Structure 1
């Protein structure tokens, strides 16, 4: 993949993602302008870019602080996205957060600028947030949308 293609793809991801800003929060929602959660944002952007739905993950809890041995979110993303090293994070990448060690990674967002990501969470909906150290240290995985 050339740098130009990669840059063009990242810009398309960012543009699609920013179109979701302001969408209200609803657990397991995934409709732009209506309601979504963090995974609904990722699934919705995927749908806009590829014209088809990303696999449905099945029911999941809204609790970010669940201790569990499985990594359903990360495993699901690995089936469709390309995982990359955390230090290589860039615009257009999906970032996955783990609230504490030994907890499932249960929150996701999409990088929309240097040190800024869009994500959805309760009482706020889809917003753009600075990737400050408190967020950065919780990154569990980073993925790139496929070309």
Structure 2
């Protein structure tokens, strides 16, 4: 399941960034990318996200993205080996809420992830030390839904 998820995520590369979007080739944000991978793996989505503003992570203190991931994905213990296809949840600043998602596509020296990034669209980026330090949680896809 995880390797397939990585292949699907890579197929979204080049999709423009569109806040609240989730349409391959037309526009997506980081949540929309993960939603699109979910649809490709399982069909319909497990839940509809509520409307959210571009600055939702700055305005509140609730860990909404983390809570949704816990409801729908499988939390990986921090000491467990890393795996291609994991969903990565990022905390962009210390003390802030976790508000960015990506999908791991490489390990070790070739550690990479696919994510939708404002002004860049869907890209594959190195999981460099600064990005790795921001990982708040890792999740695997459920076996079945």
Question: TM exceeds 0.5?
Answer: yes
**Equivalent residue number for residue 92 of structure 1:** 85
| Alpha-carbon separation, structure 2, partners of 1:60 and 1:89 | 30
| Alpha-carbon separation, structure 1, partners of 2:41 and 2:28 | 17
Deviations 1:18-47 (A, max 9, x none): 111110000000000110000000000000
Query: Is residue 111 from structure 1 mapped to residue 104 from structure 2 by the alignment?
Result: yes
Q: Is the 8 A contact 1:95 1:142 kept in 2?
A: yes
Displacement of 1:65: 5.7
Unaligned runs of 5+ in 1: 1-8
| 3-state SS in 2 of match to 1:96 | strand
| Alpha-carbon separation, structure 1, partners of 2:56 and 2:122 | 16
**Equivalent residue number for residue 29 of structure 1:** 21
Displacement of 1:127: 0.3
* Aligned with 1:58 (options 50, 58, 61): 50
| Alpha-carbon separation, structure 2, partners of 1:30 and 1:133 | 28
**Equivalent residue number for residue 141 of structure 1:** 137
Q: CA RMSD in A?
A: 1.5
| TM-score computed with the length of structure 1 as normaliser | 0.89
Unaligned runs of 5+ in 2: none
| Alpha-carbon separation, structure 2, partners of 1:63 and 1:119 | 18
Q: Is the 8 A contact 1:65 1:99 kept in 2?
A: no
Query: Is residue 128 from structure 1 mapped to residue 128 from structure 2 by the alignment?
Result: no
User: Structure 1 runs of 4+ off > 4 angstroms?
Assistant: none
**Equivalent residue number for residue 6 of structure 2:** 14
Q: Is the 8 A contact 1:98 1:140 kept in 2?
A: yes
* Residue correspondences, number: 139
